[in-house]
Amino acid sequence: MRGLRRGRAAMAAVGGNSPPEAKDGEPQREVMPDPDSQWGHIENSDTGRARRMRGGESWFLVDQDWYKQWEVYVREGDEDPSTIPGCINNAKLFEDNINWQLKKGLVEGEDYVLLSTTAWNLLVSWYGLERGQPPIERKVIDWRGICEIEVYPVELLLAQHSDMDTTHTAQFSQTDSIDLVLRTAQDQFVVSPQEETRLWVKNAEGSFERLCNTRVSLRDASLKSGQLVVMETRSKDGTWPSQQTRAASSAAKEEEEFHGQPGICGLTNLGNTCFMNSALQCLSNVPQLTEYFLKNQYLDELNFCNPLGMKGEIAEAYADLVKQAWSGRHRSIVPNVFKTKVGHFASQFLGYQQHDSQELLSFLLDGLHEDLNRVKKKEYVEQCDAAGRPDQEVAVEAWQNHKRRNDSVIVDTFHGLFKSTLVCPDCGNVSVTFDPFCYLSVPLPVSHKRVMEVFFVSMDPRRKPEQHRLVVPKKGKISDLCLALAKHTGVSPERMMVADVFSHRFYKIFQLDESLSTILDRDDIFIYEVSGRSSITENTREDVVIPIYLRERTPARDYNNSYYGLMLFGHPLLVSVPRDRLSWDALYHILLYRLSRYVTRPSSDDEDDGDEKADVEGGKNIPKPGNVAGGSSQDPGPEQAGPSSGVASGSRARDSSPGPSHWPQRHGASLVHPASVNSNRTSDPFRSPPSPPAQPYIAIDWDPEMKKRYYDEVEAEGYVKHDCVGYVLKKAPVRLQECIELFTTVETLEKENPWYCPNCKQHQLATKKLDLWTLPETLIIHLKRFSYTKFSREKLDTLVEFPIRDLDFSEFVIKPQDESAPELYKYDLIAVSNHYGGLRDGHYTTFACNKDSGQWHYFDDNSVSPVTENQIESKAAYVLFYQRQDVARRLKTKTQPGQSNPPAPPACDPISESMDIN
């Protein structure tokens, strides 16, 4: 019998695959080799049980009792046919014969043995597998260099978002990827792979968490058996069902029947978010970028591990917006999820303050790039100087180094290359480098003139203050402002004092040599006419210029109402008082004369009544003209009158002229009452008046009843406009090409940003020149309309003339050009971000050309309307988007493959074959 079995073995062919099927459906068994050969095949170290496990491969569980019986059969050589093992039977390892789940707590060597795939296939080919039983295949897990069999796989409950009560149980290895779970769910619920889906897992707390990175394993995602995994399918309108609130769901139902042009979709203003809406509309109308998201190409390139990125969340949030806007199912969408994501990763955009659309655009492009960066591990790359090498060689090297760390759809679409040249002013050392850029920030030609609005206050009380609009040098001085006003008024500049009036007081009184840059456009500037008898020379000064404030007495909220509160009102004055008339009586009459246009001079009886009433209401704390004279500031400081007053600020402390407290006292009643003022120009009732310095500040206090009877508030606030107010400084329009020329002009570095010369071994204010070496597929041009300095901020509303079509950059690109493909340097406009208004308030809108229809539209938050090309150019244009003409032709060929157009020329290869911009 033993020889007979060995004879059969000579005819047996030993295979490592599953046995072929017989005619009746049963596995076709192979002729068994002799027992010794069986043992050698199953237990050898190359393919059998003794071979070393490797991570990721499959091994099989076999019932221990069956294997022991087989082992006795092949080792002892028992020729009794009854000892021959039958089909492999693993029934003892299962809980039941329906679900075929393994029993809990099975132990290797006691309940089962492990066989490699080859050994398992051999045994099945010789003996077969019990009918109906599934093979118990398990994967090998390599856990930090230690391989082990995963006997009990992870059992997940799969469900759909639309029906989470109906679940399907599926088994996975801990080493399986989340992507396998997703594909299994798609197969189970018959969802096409073309439909975009995503997974959520239910935690122990009952909350759901996104499984964003589908490339990680179940172990890395910390998925355990019994957890519910929900698959969500994106709706036809581009939204996710999980993100729809009840209100949004109702609105979605209302728009179910709406079918519009894809891309013609407004964005709701969430509160000063027009800057964000404008940037999003511009970026959404960049054809190749939008197609990238609509075709789900971004899903394979999401970079969840980039420490410089945002865990893919910005890219996903932007993709959601694009899919909704280009679904054609919405008139307008609410970008609240995107706004929240932006605020989470960029705290400067938290809240609902107004911001800059270009700043948001810069953040978004950088965030999308890092979230979609194909480089998973960035290597250190040192920037190399040209060191005399040819530009072409250095440019190729620079671009290759850039792509070693940065490779994304943003780089493909928006990145170009500068040539930067620095020259040391001392040793003449020249440094040439090539640097990538994402957009061009080009300056606007700046006028050297400035328009300032001021109020001129004449010494003639009959003349109302005049509003003037003056054209002065932008870098001029206060004296230039006086000279400009003198041409309008005929008053000599020597008879003028310039002051900043704020909250009914002098915030600052300027000196003639101070710079005009310290005055902001929003400041209220008053220029006062003073006596011409004032002189800068200390010994020849004949007049004293006194600042005058007006205050009204109001009852203070004191428990016994024992004193009065005081409140400033009206416009302050600068009054010239002759030195020889420096007395209260003279000052009283001078003030009444200067105020005569809006203050009625009372009769003597009215004055007595008013003064008597003030004495009764105010008690002892009300200063009377007979015992309290004018006061002055404790700290004259730089806000005192400058040289134009005839009083030098540095000499006032040495002035020996008698102050107000030494003036002859005026006895009798008065319409108004003088009072001392402190450095805040307010009285302190509990402190005695300080000793007055040379330059007094006089506060004139009014009783409410007297003010009501004799002070005309309407007349006091009245002013007239000079003819010059109607004049507008015309700004000639500039061409966009002029701005680009300015961008490439040689400039000297600022003191705050010097360059370290490796030859001189010190920082130098070198000259710098930027040149355009290569340009990207889509060129973003930022017009620098906002100017910020230490003392001033302004917006340039210059009209920039920019072409809609055929913007030619061939004269600006210094790289040797391909003369046979001129379209590589020509661009067409596709979008414009507009800013209307000034610095403190403004509004952003967008002009954009739809990539499908070619029609221009105006996007103003929710509102979208068609426009013509002649409406696009305006003073509000802020950020321009241009697309290279060869790219437009290439995209058109892709969308219309049936046309017999000649193939588009190759995309601009800025640096030979190695600079892969496209």
Q: What is the CATH architecture assignment of 448-555+565-599+672-678+694-730?
A: Roll (3.10)
Residue 144 binned pLDDT confidence (cut-offs 50, 70, 90): confident
- CATH code that applies to domain 35-149: 3.30.2230.10
The answer, yes or no, to whether residue 695 has pLDDT greater than 90, is: no
**E strand or H helix at 420:** strand 416-423
Q: Is the pLDDT of residue 910 over 90?
A: no
Q: Could you state, in order of their start, the residue ranges of all structural domains in the chain?
A: 35-149, 154-233, 401-418+731-895, 448-555+565-599+672-678+694-730
- Per-residue pLDDT, averaged over 416-430, amounts to 91
| CA-closest candidate to residue 186, choices 177, 176, 196 | 196
Residue type, 524: D
Cβ–Cβ < 8 Å for 238, 326: yes
Task: Judge contact between 44 and 138, C-beta under 8 A.
Answer: no
CA–CA separation, 572 vs 455, rounded Å?
13
pLDDT at 833 over 90: yes
Question: What is the average per-residue pLDDT within 135-163?
Answer: 87
Is the distance from CB of 49 to CB of 113 less than 8 angstroms?
A: yes
pLDDT, residue 605, reads 57
Answer yes or no: 305 catalytic.
Answer: no
Joined tokens for residue 754: 């010097």
- As given in the structure block, the two tokens for residue 59 are 């091994």
CA–CA separation, 761 vs 768, rounded Å?
18
pLDDT at position 561, please?
A: 53
Q: Rounded to whole angstroms, how far apart are CA atoms 601 and 533?
A: 28
Helix (H, G, I), strand (E, B) or coil at 514: coil
Residue 79 has pLDDT above 70, yes or no: no
The pLDDT of residue 909 is above 90: no
Q: Are 148 and 114 in contact (CB under 8 A)?
A: no
Which pLDDT tens digit goes with each residue over 463-501? 999 999 999 998 899 999 999 999 999 999 999 999 999
Residue-level pLDDT at 600: 85
Predicted confidence band at 50 (pLDDT cuts at 50, 70, 90)?
A: confident
CA of residue 160 relative to chain centroid, distance: 36
Those residues whose C-beta lies under 8 Å from the C-beta of residue 179, and which sit 6 or more positions away, are: 214, 215
HEC string for 163-223: EEEEEEEEEECCCCEHHHHHHHHHHHCCCCCCCCEEEEEECCCCCEEECCCCCCECCCCCC
**Residues near 820 by Cβ (< 8 Å), separated by ≥ 6?**
none
Which of 429, 632, 383, 647 is closest to 538 using CA atoms?
647
User: For the segment 255-299, what is each residue's pLDDT rounded down to a tens digit?
Assistant: 566 788 999 999 999 999 999 999 999 999 999 999 999 999 999
User: How much is the pLDDT for 670?
Assistant: 60
CATH 3.10.20.90 at 154-233, yes or no: yes
Helices 357-371 and 313-325: crossing angle in degrees, nearest 10, is 110
β 778-784/440-443 pair status: parallel
415 is catalytic: no
Q: How confident is the model at residue 559 (pLDDT cuts 50, 70, 90)?
A: low
Where does the pLDDT of residue 245 fall: very low under 50, low under 70, confident under 90, or very high at 90 and above? low
Hey, which residues does 702 pair with through a beta bridge?
552
729 vs 645: CA distance, rounded Å: 31
Percent of the chain having pLDDT more than 70?
79
* DSSP secondary structure string for all residues of 461-484: TTSPPEEEEEEEETT-BHHHHHHH
pLDDT tens digits for range 607-616: 544 443 333 3
Mean pLDDT of the chain: 80
Per mean pLDDT, which range of 208-222, 625-639, 796-810 is the poorest?
A: 625-639
Asked whether 9 and 32 are in contact (CB, 8 A), the reply is yes
Most confident of 46-55, 227-236, 648-657, 677-686: 227-236
Q: What φ, ψ does residue 588 adopt, rounded to 5°?
A: -60, -50
Q: Among 22-26, 73-77, 433-437, 449-453, which is the least confidently predicted range?
A: 22-26
Q: What is the mean pLDDT of residues 597-604?
A: 78
CATH number of this structure's domain 401-418+731-895, picked from the four choices 3.90.70.10, 3.30.300.10, 3.30.2350.10, 3.40.50.10950? 3.90.70.10
CA-CA distance, 333 to 864, in Å (whole number)? 12
The pLDDT of residue 804: 96
Q: 35-149 with 154-233: one CATH topology?
A: no
CB-CB contact of 71 with 43 (8 Å):
no
Catalytic residue among 161, 504, 589, 843: 843
Give residue 175's identity as a one-letter amino acid code. T
Measure Cα distances from 306 to 310, 837, 849 in Å: 8, 39, 34
- The encoded tokens of residue 520 equal 């902001």
Count of CA atoms in the C-beta half-sphere (13 A) of 424: 16
Q: How would residue 449 be classed by pLDDT, with cut points 50, 70 and 90?
A: confident
pLDDT band at 442 (very low <50, low <70, confident <90, very high): very high
List 41, 265, 274, 424, catalytic entry: 274
**What's the pLDDT score for residue 457?**
94
Neighbours of 809 (CB within 10 A): 18
Residue 657 has pLDDT above 90, yes or no: no
387's CB contacts (< 8 A; 6+ apart) are: none
Find how far residue 448's CA is from the centre of its chain: 32
For 156, 170, 204, the CA distances from 226, given in Å and listed in that order, are 5, 10, 10
Residue 498: CB partners within 8 Å, gap ≥ 6?
A: 454, 478, 481, 482, 509, 510, 525, 526, 527, 642, 644
**pLDDT confidence of residue 397:** 93
Share of the chain above pLDDT 90, in %: 43
Amino acid at 799: L
Round to whole Å and give the CA distance between 643 and 629: 26
Number of other CB atoms surrounding residue 860 within 10 Å: 19
> For the residues 646-664, what does the mean pLDDT come to?
35
Whether the predicted pLDDT of 583 surpasses 80:
no
Asked whether the predicted pLDDT for residue 535 surpasses 90, the reply is: no
The one-letter amino acid at 81: P
- Which of 482, 838, 813, 819 has the alpha carbon at shortest distance from 644? 482
Cα atoms found within 13 Å of the Cα of residue 826, Cβ hemisphere only:
13
Strand partners, 421: 432, 769
- Reference 644, options 500, 755, 493, 829; nearest CA is 493
The two structure tokens encoding residue 862: 């929710």
Q: How far is CA 773 from CA 439, 715, 812, in A?
A: 14, 65, 8
pLDDT average, residue stretch 571-594: 82
Q: How far apart are CA 665 and CA 682, in angstroms?
A: 22
CB neighbours of 450 closer than 8 A, spacing ≥ 6?
471, 472, 473, 474, 476, 516
Q: Is pLDDT above 60 for 360?
A: yes
pLDDT at 174: 85
pTM above 0.95, yes or no: no
Length of the chain: 918
- Long-range CB pairs of 849-857 (<8 Å, 24+ gap) are 849/285, 850/261, 850/263, 850/264, 850/285, 851/263, 851/285, 851/287, 851/290, 851/891, 852/261, 852/262, 852/263, 852/895, 853/261, 857/264
End-to-end Cα distance, the chain: 76
DSSP assignments along 738-761, one per residue: HHHHHHTS-EEPPTTS-EEETTTT
Q: Would you place residue 789 in the very low, low, confident or very high pLDDT band (cuts 50, 70, 90)?
A: low
Q: Could you report the per-residue pLDDT of 763-773, keeping only the tens digit for each?
A: 989 999 999 99
Higher model confidence: residue 577 or residue 779?
Answer: 779
In 205-275, the DSSP E strands lie at 208-210, 228-233, 266-267
* 495: β partners: none
* Rounded Cα gap, residues 619 and 564, in angstroms: 10
pLDDT confidence of 310, banded at 50, 70, 90?
very high
How much is the pLDDT for 370?
96
- Residue 61 DSSP SS3: strand
Q: What does the block give as tokens for 471? A: 């054209």
Q: Is the pLDDT of residue 18 over 50?
A: no
Among the listed residues 167, 212, 179, the one whose alpha carbon sits nearest the alpha carbon of residue 310: 212
851-895 residue pLDDT tens: 999 999 999 999 999 999 999 999 999 999 999 999 988 887 776
**Residue 630: which pLDDT band, with cuts at 50, 70 and 90?**
very low
The DSSP element (H or E) to which 314 belongs, if any, is: helix 313-325
For residues 360 and 876, the answer to whether their CB atoms sit within 8 Å is no
Average pLDDT, integer, range 734-747: 93
Residue 606 banded pLDDT, cuts 50, 70, 90: low
Over residues 675-692, the mean pLDDT reads 43
